[in-house]
Amino acid sequence: MAERMTGARFIAESLKGYGVTHVFFVEAILRRSLMEMERLGIRRVLTHSEKAAVYMADGYARVARRPGVCMAQSVGAANLASGLQDPFLGRSPVIAITGRQVPMAQYRHAYQEIAHGPRFEPVTKYNVTVDVLAQLPHLLRQAFREATTGTPGPVHLDLLGYQGQAIEEAEADLEVLVEEPFARIPPYRTMPDPAQVAEAARLLEMAERPVLVAGGGVTASRAGAELLALAERLSIPVATSLNGKPSLLVDHPLNVGVVGRYSRWCANQVVAEADLVAFIGSAAGEMVTLGWKLPRAGTRIVQIDINPAELGRNYPHTLGVLGDARVTLQMLQEALGSKARPKAAWATHAKDLVRRWREELAPHRASGAIPIRPERLCKELTDCLPENGILVGDTGFAGIWTGTQVHLTAPGQDYIRCAGSLGWAFPASLGAKCAAPDRPVVCFTGDGGMWYHLSELETARRCGISTVTVVNNNRALGQCAVNIRKLYANRPGNPGDLFDFGSVSFAALAREMGCLGIQVTQPDGIVPAIRQALAAEVPAVIEVITDVTCPAPEPWAP
Ligand SMILES: Cc1ncc(C[n+]2csc(CCOP(=O)(O)OP(=O)(O)O)c2C)c(N)n1
């Protein structure tokens, strides 16, 4: 039923109805709506930058599996747009709301204003302006629909008034209508065509060396159990993308690990040897295929995805199966003939490669070296990641370390990772904690990543968002250092100008901001420090001083 109300009330009640519990923003935007949100119990997280607000909304969305909301005024719009690159690449449903100047101020040097639309175009699925309040019900509902359907992704609403005030101050007869499916991911569990499923089953049965590659779609669909059931039924090795990592526990004998660029060599080798690869909830993009070198050209490809535009995009002659990962995997298993034979020898071979990978790594994971080896840090973090913990990884080496060497050992654990923008992990971990306040959240970042959004420690303290941040502090952009040193070779000069940082203590900075800060220099100190941090009632930073000369492994390529 329509009711006379302000835009502010409509916005707040709609967000509440869609299950939004937190909004992340930089002042000055939608002040009246934020006041209404307070009345409704929506937490208002004021951040120090727009990019951090986006990353928090992104971390929130990935953990809550429903849209995360971030907002900024007109001059902040460009910053907000630049932050949206990561949720766009990471396929995360973020709703970005901005304000823009009224028409009479346009095209005549309005203060703080450039055209917003073009900035948002490459990083959103849906990018619209709201010129009058009467449009808002339709456009806000469509924003949730666009963000959550197909491949999830960011959307943008540009509201009239540089703070969006023209929309929120106006009054109209409005109905707060919540379309419940679009409040979550996936909105619908789309059923595949049984004929396509039967053909996929036939190909899996016939293959001698099949591999399942589980992507973020398996995680989003919560299809881990169905993935496992299919893999076990035919003894098929499973590799995952970084986003797919939470679908399978590390110790499962069929799990060969993360494949692609930030990968284990054993996973890459198994995929290179496969005669059939089934991508499930994965777009087979550059990262997971190592620049489309894995699987090798000519390998039979099956691809299961909820978005038909992804089917066969990257590999010709793909058998595409359109459907939700969970439903499709279940139907696929049921479609297997009773005589389908497990690929026992192939699975044993894959398991053997994983064993060799583990044995190679073991000495580094046990290393007592000082400065600490990152592999040892990963081992200690594995040991104390709580059973219901959420691990949040940054990009670069932090993506490789968390993706390949911090293991998920309990079904209640989760992992979300940066899609490429250095510094994402720390604010994203704060958003993750907002989405799951009862679960421990542990962020793993390098010092280069931590410098980006250090100021959000103040946000975390002020808003009572108590996470644990492990800073792998080698006092440099370590990943860059490796390559720049190689480039310089024996040439005289100062390569360190390009990657070294001063020796500032993040632990001391954290304490200054009212957080717990612990510096760790000895390997034996890592676990007690993380345990203390997990038990603390304030945000915590564990700064581990590590060896800059220990790079993460290069990917194995065929
Ligand atoms: C926005 C952005 N700028 C630059 C990069 C390139 N980059 C990738 S990793 C990296 C270095 C990361 O250093 P740090 O966080 O200290 O981790 P370490 O490599 O030392 O483990 C850089 C600069 C990036 N990924 N994102």
pLDDT tens for residues 296-334? 999 999 999 999 999 999 999 999 999 999 999 999 999
CB neighbours (10 Å) of residue 358?
A: 14
332-383 tens-digit pLDDT: 999 998 889 999 999 999 999 999 999 999 999 999 999 999 999 999 999 9
User: In this model, does residue 172 exceed pLDDT 90?
Assistant: yes
Phi and psi torsions of 188, nearest 5°:
-135, 145
- Separation CA 457–CA 447 (nearest Å): 14
Alpha carbon distances (Å) from 337 to 226, 229, 237, 303, 533: 17, 15, 19, 20, 52
Give which of 524, 218, 523, 537 is closest to 372, Cα–Cα. Answer: 523
| pLDDT score of 113 | 92
How many angstroms is it from 37 CA to the middle of ligand 1?
37
Q: Where are the alpha helices (DSSP H) in 366-477?
A: 374-384, 397-400, 425-435, 447-452, 456-463
Q: Is the CB of 478 under 6 A from ligand 1?
A: yes
- Is it the case that residue 1 has pLDDT exceeding 90? no
CA angle 56, 60, 66 (to 5 degrees): 140
Confidence at residue 40, expressed as pLDDT on a 0 to 100 scale: 98
Ligand 1 atom at minimal distance to the Cα of residue 396: 9
49 Cα to the center of ligand 1, angstroms:
19
- Given a cut of 90, whether residue 253 has pLDDT beyond it is yes
Range 43-53 average pLDDT: 98
Sign of CA dihedral 398, 465, 432, 136: negative
**Distance (Å, whole) CA 249 – CA 251:** 6
Distances (CA, A) of 371 to 26, 397, 400, 496, 551: 39, 17, 20, 19, 13
Two structure tokens written together for 221: 């669909």
Cβ–ligand 1 distance for 6 under 6 Å, the answer: no
Q: Mention every residue, 6+ apart, whose C-beta is less than 8 A from residue 297.
A: none
The pTM score is: 0.98
Q: Is the CB of 474 under 6 A from ligand 1?
A: yes
How many angstroms from the chain centroid is the CA of residue 268? 22
Give SS3 for 263.
Answer: coil
